[in-house]
Chain A
Amino acid sequence: MAEEVKKKRLTDIGPHDYNEYLSPVIKNNYGKWAYHEILDPGTMVHVAESGDKLYTVRMGSPRLVSGSFVRDICDIADKYCGGHLRFTTRNNVEFLIEDEKNVEPLKKDLEKMGYNVGGIGNIVANIVHTQGWVHCHTSASDASGVVKSVMDELYEYFVEDKLPSKVRIAFACCLNMCGSVSSSDIAIVGTHRKPPRIDAERLRNLCEIPSTIAACPTNSIRPDTVDGKPGVKVNEETCVFCGSCYTVCPAMPIANAENDGLSIWVGGKVSNARTKPTFSKLAIPFIPNDPPRWPGVVNAVKTILNEYKKGAEPGERVGEWIDRIGWPRFFKITGFPFTKYHIDDFRLGETTMNYSSHARL
């Protein structure tokens, strides 16, 4: 009996064959596309060397979706796309349409169902984000709620093309930085401001002390003897509240309702177009958690976006715009205070100083 059960199990079948999911027009023109055109912020067309056309309608998604959402998009795909659809690397949904006549009816159907069409061109695309309070134990804030609040406020920029270039916003609920916050135009990152609390009793039973010590980026954790038994101590002078020790040791919780919140980062990008890929840099060290709408975060993002829209040249990403006008001017026009926290003091921090007399006075 047991042997029979074992035999029936399917394992190591690997990735599914994607060819099964490619529509005929994609199969016929695979690797033979000539050019594409953006028709509006929700629609583009790819034209193949053969002259075949493939229309794409892009729709916003909250990423965390129900089975009912999945069935909704399946119904649309069946009605207009022969059942074919895909998701983007920013978690939008794309309907792949062969017949141009289906484009407008499909969009009308989506709008009737309350879905958002947009996200192509010089827009604010979907916000790449993480688990937050919905599913993660190390989160310093909630992902879905902040994203919803920001996208409600920036909705016009998802559905209308009116920015100098594309703006990528990303969110991570702690500085594990799952996703792409380290290299986004605007990034929102969950942040702690207090050291971990050590539960000596549980630590002895639950944690491997050497790996807990090794997890600290500032070497702030040292072995210690507590009540004659092995434990750790934290040098609170040098602890930077990263939460890495909690990740490896459950007895060092760091979440703190009053002192957790979010930091805002700007100017990162991953594309190589014009300038090299670059990290996002600190704009605002801390904004308190303020659920359910996080007005402080929403306002900060809006301020950056407004100044960028006013000041950037066509085609300039946020980081390129700041490089051109300089960081002092960025802080001046956004009104964000420049503080000691903006000066890098980790490892190669000194390489980020201004070794010149260059200043825009």
Chain B
Amino acid sequence: MGKKHQTPLLDELKKGKWISFVREIERAAEKSERTEDLLGQVEESYHDKVNHWKHGGMAGVKGYGAGMVGRFSEYPDKYPGIKECHSMRIIPSAGFFYNSDFLRKLADISEKHAGGLLNFHGATGNIQILGMSQAEAEDVFQAVAELGFDLGGSGSDLRTPSCCAGQARCEFANFDTMKICRHLTEEYLDELHRPAFNYKFKFKFSGCANDCVASAARSDLAFIGTWKDKIKINQEEVKNYKKKFNVQKYVLDKCPTKCMWFEGENLVIDDENCVKCMHCINELPKALKAGDERGCSILIGAKAPLVTGPRMGMMLVPFYDVNEDAKNDYEWIKSLISNMWEFWDEYGVSRERIGELIGRVGLNTFLEGIGLEPIPEMVEHPRSNPFIKFTEDEEE
């Protein structure tokens, strides 16, 4: 039997209306006794106001350099159940769609071999099973694999790609996010399972500029849906919306490029000046739709602050014809990715994200390295200092 610990501080967090994680840990402990010790150690952290995990820790399965995060308790004698408390990352189903049969089997695995706790999902998108020992890792991996699921990324590798629900359940989706997400994950399984990069690299796919997987902030390479032709307008539905709220004030006046106006009763859009921000379509979903020439923009370099400061993804390719490329097994994008990784491999240093590398060597050098031409969409505005490095081929 796992030893019961007194948890007066955590017990406070069983009160209140929002679903309680403490109750969830307790429920897990009913099925997996070792998790009693997790409650004990977390209670001790609440008392001491510091975490009680040892630094780092390696854990893994044969043949892979990634997929598990090792964790050891600072007090293994006091909390033997979590002496080893590793987590395993599992590649989710694209768009996070599941059925009850799979989820029940996964719950069984987590209770039989680990602490009975799961994260749905980690921030990158993995399913996580928490609280296993190294000795159990292989069994859990194989049990999960028998359900048709593989381990996700960790360390200096391609991390698990993720995407929004896209065309499965959204009228805004400009490309099939789930299809390309799955395809590129399969294409780069080796890069995902066996870390060979300078540092981590993430892909995320959002079907439109609303960016529901936050790709522009959370992935080194972000795919954000967009379109090239005119927004389709249903004038009758526009009139219906006008009866319900002030369309001029809340839609037209909020347009970032002021490219919409009324001519009589009819809504007019100057599509050449539209930046595809989605605001009008969000507000009037029954009346407005993206055009038919759909694809996505590609943004590069987003990352969290360490080490040189946070970065958002910056525009690299304004329009990628993903539907056309899908017909060729995504040959064009795979060649671009391969160029990027080669450049990063050649010029990047250890623990340098690709965004930091671009910041260090300059966008021009990077573009030359990967074979893209500079275009005005890449910048907010041209440079305002005169320290220009003219190159020899410009002289004479």
Contact = CB atoms under 8 A, between A and B. Distances in A.
B118 interface: yes
Contacts of A75: 100
A252 to B, nearest CB: 9
A15 B93 CA distance: 7
A33 B46 contact: no
Interface string A68-101: 1111011101100001111111010100100000
Given A65-B118, A65-B120, A216 B150 contact: no
Interface in A137-160: 137, 139, 142, 144-145, 147-149, 151-152, 155, 158
Nearest to A149: B13
Given A62-B19, A128-B123, A271-B210, A69 B310 contact: no
Give the interface centre of B24, B49, B52, B285 by most chain A CB atoms within 10 Å. B49
A293 B18 CA distance: 13
Given A272-B277, A292-B46, A11 B116 contact: no
Contacts of A274: 254-256, 277, 279
Interface stretch (A18-26, A230-238, A304-312, A331-339): A18-26
B167 A31 contact: yes
A216 B351 CA distance: 12
Contacts of B334: none
B170 A250 contact: no
B176 interface: yes
A292 B10 contact: yes
A353 interface: no
A56 interface: yes
B19 A66 contact: no
B25 interface: yes
B356 to A, nearest CB: 11
B391 to A, nearest CB: 26
Contacts of B216: 183, 270, 272, 277
B358 interface: no
A71 B306 contact: no
A69 B255 CA distance: 43
Interface residues of A, number: 115
B282 interface: yes
B167 A18 contact: no
B20 A136 contact: no
Interface in B107-130: 107-108, 110-111, 116-121, 123, 130
A217 interface: yes
Contact of B120 (A14, A60, A87, A271): A87
Interface residues of B, number: 123
B31 A180 contact: no
B212 A89 contact: yes
A86 B306 contact: no
A20 B178 CA distance: 13
B42 interface: yes
Given A22-B97, A56-B169, A67-B108, A14 B189 contact: yes
A33 B169 contact: yes
Interface stretch (B141-149, B338-346, B368-376): B141-149
A103 to B, nearest CB: 16
Given A89-B164, A271-B209, A277-B312, A64 B277 contact: no
Given A63-B120, A137-B56, A115 B19 contact: yes
B150 A152 contact: no
Contacts of B85: 135
Contacts of B366: none
30 contacts: A12-B150, A15-B182, A16-B148, A17-B148, A30-B167, A35-B285, A54-B169, A63-B120, A63-B121, A64-B24, A70-B103, A73-B103, A86-B96, A87-B98, A89-B212, A137-B55, A145-B10, A147-B21, A155-B18, A177-B305, A180-B123, A180-B218, A214-B307, A248-B351, A270-B211, A271-B211, A273-B277, A278-B312, A292-B9, A292-B46
Interface of B: 9-10, 12-13, 15-22, 24-25, 27-28, 30-31, 38, 42, 45-46, 48-56, 62-64, 71, 85, 87, 91-104, 106-108, 110-111, 116-121, 123, 130, 142, 145-150, 162, 164-165, 167-171, 173, 176, 178, 181-182, 185-186, 189-190, 193, 209-214, 216-218, 224, 250, 254-256, 275-279, 282-283, 285-286, 304-310, 312, 349-351
Given A17-B182, A148-B16, A175-B305, 20 more contacts: A10-B146, A56-B169, A65-B117, A67-B27, A77-B100, A86-B98, A116-B18, A132-B51, A152-B18, A177-B310, A178-B123, A180-B214, A182-B305, A216-B307, A217-B305, A217-B308, A257-B49, A270-B217, A271-B211, A277-B217
